[in-house]
Amino acid sequence: MIMADDFIGEARRLGFDFYTGVPCSFLTPLINGVLSSPSLTYVGAASEGEAVAIASGAWLAGRRTVVMCQNSGLGNAVNPLTSLNHPFRIPTLFLTTWRGEPGIPDEPQHEVMGEITHDLIGLMRLEQAAFPAEAAALQPALSHAAERMEATGLPYAFVVRKGDVADTELDVAPRAVPGPGRRMDLADGGARPSRVAALERLLTIVPDEAAIIATTGKCGRELFTLADREQHLYQVGSMGAASGMGLGVALNVERPVVVLDGDGAALMKMGTFATIGAYAPRNLVHVVLDNGVHDSTGGQPTVSPSVDFAMVALACGYRLGVSCASLDGFEAALRESLGQGPALIHLRIAPGSIAKLGRPTVKPAEVARRFRAFLGVPVAAEPLPA
C-alpha cells in the first residue's frame, strides 16, 4: 500500500499534472489527493469516454495527462481509446480499477468485467501493468510507463486493486452554482444554409489564432476540402468526442477554440455539455451544425428536431446560447460568442454535402502534431511512433 501523495509526487516529477476521470471507490484516495493539490488540475467528467477526449485535448495543449476510472467504465472508453488515441497517437496514463477481481467478493455487476479487464486492455493493443502499490516500485514503474508512452504514442494502463492506496481525506470546497446565461434567438425565416456555406462563413470570421476542432464525418471532410490549415483538427472517429477534446484544449490555452459538432454527435455525448458549463472556459465556442440526419451514413433521421441545443447548453451552465437558421444569423452569433464563452451556437442547416467531397490526406498523427505545434507546444523532429 502507498499514500496518494507518493504516487502524485512521483507522477508530478515526470510531468503528469492534468487529471480527469470518473470516480471509483478504489480510486477515492488518488482523486481526493489530486483535488486537494493546488498545483494539479482535475476535471471531473460525465463519462469515461468523455474523460479520454478531455485528456486528449489537454495533451494537444502540452499537458501530460492521467485518466482515472472504474473498470466498469472501460466499455465507455473503448471507442475513443481505439478510434481517437490510436489513429492520432495521443498518449495518456490510464488508471483503471479491478472491481470484480476473481476470488474477491464484489457486486454482481462487476463479475464479467472483472474477468475480462486485462484481456480487454490487451485487445485494445495497450500496454499494461499492475499498479505500483509499493513505494519502491513507483519510480521505475512510472518511468517505464512514460518511456513506453513516448515510444508508442499510445496510452499505458495501470490496473488498480482494492487497497493499493491508503485512504486520503478530501480538502476542496463545493462547486458554486453559476448564474444564468444569456439567450439569443436569431432563427429568422428562409431556406436553411448548407453546411459548407456555414463553414465558408466561419472561416471568414474566426481569427487566425483560433483553433478549430471538427467532429467526425462530413463536417471535417468539408472543412478540409475548403481549407487545410495547421489549426484544424479533423476527428476521423470517436463520434461525440469533439466537444470534450475542445474543452481539454480550451482549459489550457488562451486563444479561441471553436468546436464544430453535429447534431448526432452532440446527442451522443450530451453529458459533456454539463462538464463544459461547469469548468466554463471563456475562450470556447461550441457550434452544433444541425441538419437533423446522420449525413455520413445515408441520411437516417436523428431526434434533433425536438431538441433546443441552445437551451440545453444554458441549462448546463454555458454563458451564452444562440439559436439561428441563416448565414447572417450565424455570423452575428459567432461575432457575439468569441470571448464570451462557453458559448453554444445552434445552427439548423440543410442535409447534404458538396458533390466533390474530399477526405483529409494528412494522417491523423500528423494532424495532431501540427495542431500541437500551432498551439505552441514543442514537437520533436523524430519520426512519428509506429
Is the model's pLDDT at 382 over the cut of 80? no
Condensed to tens digits (0 to 9), the pLDDT of residues 351-360 reads 998 888 888 9
Q: Comparing C-alpha atoms, which of 53, 52, 31, 50 is closest to residue 42? A: 31
Work out the pLDDT band at 383, boundaries 50, 70, 90.
low
Helices (H), 3-85: 4-13, 28-35, 48-60, 74-80
DSSP, res 244: H
Instruction: Determine phi and psi for 121, rounding to 5 degrees.
Output: -60, -45
| CA-based R_g, the chain, Å | 21
The Cα–Cα gap between 370 and 211 comes to 12
Mean pLDDT within 169-196: 87
Residues 6+ apart with CB under 8 A from 379: 369, 370, 372, 373
Give the Å distances, CA to CA, from 203 to 146, 210, 265, 362, 373: 38, 10, 22, 20, 20
Q: From the CB of residue 173, how many other CB atoms can be counted at a distance below 10 Å?
A: 5
Count Cβ atoms within 10 A of the Cβ of residue 254 and give its class: 0-12 exposed, 13-18 middle, 19 or more buried: exposed
Condensed to tens digits (0 to 9), the pLDDT of residues 198-219 reads 999 999 999 999 999 999 999 9
Mean pLDDT within 314-343: 96
Is the model's pLDDT at 181 over the cut of 80? yes
Mean pLDDT within 318-347: 96
Check residue 303 and give its pLDDT.
Answer: 94
Work out the pLDDT band at 126, boundaries 50, 70, 90.
very high
Condensed to tens digits (0 to 9), the pLDDT of residues 28-78 reads 999 999 999 999 999 999 999 999 999 999 999 999 999 999 999 999 999
Angle at the Cα of 211 from the Cα atoms of 204 and 299, rounded to 5 degrees: 75
Check residue 24 and give its pLDDT.
Answer: 94
Instruction: Please tell me the pTM assigned to this model.
Output: 0.96
| Domain pair 4-160 / 182-348, same fold | yes
Check residue 298 and give its pLDDT.
Answer: 85
The Cα–Cα gap between 279 and 100 comes to 33
Q: What is the CATH code of the structural domain delimited by 4-160?
A: 3.40.50.970
Check residue 149 and give its pLDDT.
Answer: 98
Name residue 213's beta-bridge partners. Answer: 233, 259
Condensed to tens digits (0 to 9), the pLDDT of residues 244-297 reads 999 999 999 999 999 999 999 999 999 999 999 999 999 999 999 999 899 888
Condensed to tens digits (0 to 9), the pLDDT of residues 72-104 reads 999 999 999 999 999 999 999 999 999 999 999
- Kindly state the cell numbers that stand for 308: 433546443
The Cα–Cα gap between 157 and 155 comes to 7
Residues 6+ apart with CB under 8 A from 249: 57, 58, 60, 61, 211, 213, 257, 375
Peptide bond into 102 cis (omega under 30): no
Query: What class is the 182-348 domain?
Result: alpha beta
End-to-end CA distance of the chain: 36
Task: Kindly tell me the sign of the dihedral angle through the C-alpha atoms of 215, 92, 342, 314.
Answer: positive
Please state the domain extents for the chain: 4-160, 182-348
The Cα–Cα gap between 150 and 153 comes to 5
Mean pLDDT within 171-195: 86
Instruction: Determine phi and psi for 303, rounding to 5 degrees.
Output: -95, 15
The Cα–Cα gap between 205 and 348 comes to 19
Check residue 43 and give its pLDDT.
Answer: 98
Count Cβ atoms within 10 A of the Cβ of residue 163 and give its class: 0-12 exposed, 13-18 middle, 19 or more buried: exposed
